[in-house]
Amino acid sequence: MLANKDNISVLENFIYGDTPEETGIRGLLSFIKDNTSSSLEIRLYSLSLELNIRMLPLKTLLVYLEMNGILEPVYSYFEELPFKYLMEKETIIGEFDDERKKFIQCIFQYSKTAKIWTRLDIERIMETYGADRIRIIRALEYLDEKGWIELERHHTVEVYEILRHDFDINDTTNSLYNTAKGKETFEIKRIQQMLDFFESDNCLSRELSNYFGEHTVQKCGHCSVCTHGKVELQSTVELPPLSEFNFKKTTANLFEKADFTPTPTTVTRFLCGVNFPFGSKFKLKELAEFGILKKYPYRSVNEWVIRNR
Ligand SMILES: [Zn+2]
């Protein structure tokens, strides 16, 4: 079998990097609580940079808040709708008849093309044509689907209704954080299970069918265990112990450049080369020490950071 354990840390780092920090979750909850109106606008990209939570886990947190009855998604819209023409304007207009043709013409008429991107004056189109925002967005999405234009979707605004403001920030933070941690533990365990499977001394077909709840196979006679016996996955690189690194030296640049106080989690992510929004925001990825311990297991680095800070 052509496998070894060298890249397990890389796999694990994807998982660890997706767990939001407690401070980030608390920040999200305060942001909701401090919003005095019941309508909440969320710009995922900038909120992600502000809270230091990656986009995907941030979306997951919002889903949890929805399940907890705190938020309800109402609709989303694009704040800006930059797009690129992939076909001549006139050719696109030529694809439509009657009212729809006039509508598309109006959209193009009130759009300005810079070097590459075209921007709409959406208010103007709404006013002149009497169309609502949603119809304009749908039209552009349709053109994008057809491959006639390319729509840039980064500036989405998600509008939520806050169903209750009376939630307890501490309790909710704890509960969301524990859920995220539980998910992390589960995913990491899955990697370990996969390794255990490859290193099993039982027939692999038998292991697999047991996993799926069937207990029919005894020995298949043709898997690697049946033909060659148990394998042991090797680590090909020998790493010096972490105690050989000087914590102060390794993190000095990070602490100097960061415009915030890095938590042990942030320090660990930085040293393991795991991307986090503050890393981009404060240009920490340019530092030589970013990812300097990326070959080490995340958990060992984290323990080392906590011991030495
Ligand atoms: Zn077998």
CA 3 – ligand 1 centroid, Å: 18
CA 66 – ligand 1 centroid, Å: 47
CB atoms inside a 10 Å sphere around CB 7: 10
Question: Are 118 and 88 in contact, with CB atoms under 8 Å apart?
Answer: no
pLDDT at 1: 46
Domain ranges, ordered by start, for the chain: 12-79+159-185, 83-153, 242-308
**The model's pTM:** 0.74
Q: Say how far residue 105 (Cα) sits from the centre of its chain.
A: 38
Name residues whose C-beta falls within 8 Å of residue 123's C-beta, 6 or more positions apart in sequence.
none
Q: Say how far residue 269 (Cα) sits from the centre of its chain.
A: 15
Name residues whose C-beta falls within 8 Å of residue 173's C-beta, 6 or more positions apart in sequence.
22, 25, 26, 29
Q: Look at 300 and 198; give whichever has higher pLDDT.
A: 300
CA 196 – ligand 1 centroid, Å: 15
Q: How far is CA 93 from CA 70, 81, 84, 115, 117, in A?
A: 45, 19, 15, 21, 18
Q: What is the mean pLDDT of residues 50-55?
A: 94
pLDDT at 233: 81
CA 212 – ligand 1 centroid, Å: 16
Instruction: Compute the mean pLDDT over every residue in the chain, rounded to the nearest whole number.
Output: 91
CA 7 – ligand 1 centroid, Å: 26
pLDDT at 140: 92
CA 158 – ligand 1 centroid, Å: 52
CA 76 – ligand 1 centroid, Å: 53
Q: Look at 122 and 288; give whichever has higher pLDDT.
A: 288
CA 199 – ligand 1 centroid, Å: 13
Distance CA 285, CA 272 (A): 11
CA 259 – ligand 1 centroid, Å: 57
CA 229 – ligand 1 centroid, Å: 9
Length reported for the chain? 309
Distance CA 95, CA 145 (A): 14
Q: What is the mean pLDDT of residues 284-304?
A: 95
CA 240 – ligand 1 centroid, Å: 38
Token pair listed for 70: 């705190």
The per-residue pLDDT for range 264-290, each reduced to its tens digit, is: 999 999 999 999 999 989 999 999 999
Is 150 in a helix, a strand, or coil?
strand
pLDDT at 3: 66
The per-residue pLDDT for range 76-112, each reduced to its tens digit, is: 877 777 899 999 999 999 999 999 999 999 999 999 9
CA 186 – ligand 1 centroid, Å: 28
pLDDT at 279: 94
Does domain 12-79+159-185 sit in CATH 1.10.10.10? Answer: yes
CA 214 – ligand 1 centroid, Å: 15
